[in-house]
Amino acid sequence: MKKELEKLKNEFEGVIKKVSDKDSLEKLKNEFLGRKGKVKSLMKNVASLADEERKVIGKIANEIKDAIEVSYGLKEKELEVQEYATIVDREWMDVTQPGTFAEQGHLHPVTKTIYEIEDIFSKIGFTRIPVPEVDWDHYAFETLNMPKDHPARDDWETFFIDAPEGKKGKLVVIPHVSNVQVRAMEDYELPFRALYIGRSYRRQSDTSHSPMFHQFEILMIDEGVNFTHLRGVIEHFVHSYFGPDRSIRLRPHHFRFTEPSFEVDISCGLCSGTGELDNIQCKMCKEGWLELAGAGMTHPNVLKAGGVDTKKYTALAFAFGIERTMMMRAGMNVDDIRTLYKNDLRFVRQF
Ligand SMILES: [Zn+2]
């Protein structure tokens, strides 16, 4: 009996050494120490022994049972330590190591400028309205006081759509956003202050022209709108966008859709409008002024084309190219305006 107990103990010690995970350990525990385990069944036999012998063997049996339990406990601890070490090993990280960040993008400088301009004009009551990029000749030229054979049309190197002519003429990819003028008169109730920003297309491509560029225009129609309003609106824009220290100058000019018409100049930011820097002629401007935009009082023929009562209403308009304006403020030195649309991240990231 005693030998059998010793044998059981040795058997247990032998097997437990090879155990390397918790599941097998648990199985082994049931096999030896469980209710139907080997130790229990041997202990049952102890009960049938004679008194003297039972005492002795019972004691030994208990000692062996304890010993088995102890080595079980030790193994359990050992496995726990091992498991913990594996987790630490697997999940270790150097908290002092610099992190890796997802790269953050930003809007294209032209898009940013568009939003900024929209904001500036919304402060004085102008609402942005949509610009159809493909439109009829009727809106792009005809109603803008540019009849079919007028030579002014040659100034616009227009892209025509290869499509049948409609009641309103040929379809064009708009050469300017002014096509919105008469559309707005037809669509909105008077008086209104509209601004429209969109892409324009002309068959020109060189260092200072991109075949696709952005234009911005405002149109304000109301009773009693006059030249002082025009000047005020331009000044509001120039002071908001370029800074309060910049001044404007209006030079008489000729456009078909405005009368009178003006070219708008702003004072040069580099030489503060003096035309020279340290007694040397300023490289940025001509005699202290930079050309910014075209402006004027909307021609009565254009208003009539939009069904506006010209005895009651007058209107002003002011338009410029977004790219040029943006580059003027940023003092951006771009050899080729088309660089803006080449998707070269090295360029775009600078702004
Ligand atoms: Zn200058």
pLDDT at 154: 65
Task: Please give the C-alpha separations between residue 52 and each of 44, 55, 56, 63, 279, in angstroms, as whole numbers.
Answer: 16, 5, 7, 17, 126
Q: How far is the CA of 271 from the centre of ligand 1 (A)?
A: 4
Q: Compute the C-alpha angle 228/193/139, nearest 5°.
A: 105
Q: How far is the CA of 281 from the centre of ligand 1 (A)?
A: 8
Reduced to 3 states, what is the DSSP secondary structure of residue 100?
coil
Q: How far is the CA of 263 from the centre of ligand 1 (A)?
A: 18
Regions of the chain where pLDDT drops below 50? none
Q: Which two tokens stand for residue 206?
A: 């060189």
pLDDT at 28: 83
Q: How far is the CA of 247 from the centre of ligand 1 (A)?
A: 13
Please report, in angstroms and rounded to a whole number, the separation of the first and last CA atoms in the chain.
92
Q: Which two tokens stand for residue 38?
A: 């080997």
Q: Report, in angstroms and rounded to the nearest whole number, the Rg of the chain calculated over CA atoms.
A: 44
Neighbours of ion ligand 1 (CB under 5 A): 268, 270-271, 282, 284-285
The domain ranges of the chain are 2-91, 109-348
Instruction: Give the pTM.
Output: 0.69
Other C-beta atoms closer than 10 Å to the C-beta of 220 total 22
Q: How far is the CA of 284 from the centre of ligand 1 (A)?
A: 5
CATH architecture entry for 109-348: 2-Layer Sandwich (3.30)
- Reported as a single tens digit per residue, the pLDDT across 246-275 is 999 999 999 888 999 999 999 988 888 888
**Considering only CA atoms, which of 263, 241, 208, 250 is closest in space to residue 330?**
241
Q: How far is the CA of 269 from the centre of ligand 1 (A)?
A: 6
Q: How far is the CA of 272 from the centre of ligand 1 (A)?
A: 6
CA separation for the pair 157, 175 (Å, rounded): 8
Q: How far is the CA of 231 from the centre of ligand 1 (A)?
A: 22
One-letter amino acid for residue 213 of the chain: F
Q: Residues with Cβ < 8 Å from 300, sequence gap 6 or more?
A: 259, 310
Return the DSSP state at 340.
Answer: G
User: Which long-range contacts link 341-350 to residues 24+ away (Cβ below 8 Å)?
Assistant: 341/210, 341/212, 348/108, 348/109
pLDDT at 22: 84
Q: Which two tokens stand for residue 45?
A: 């036999």
Q: How far is the CA of 274 from the centre of ligand 1 (A)?
A: 7
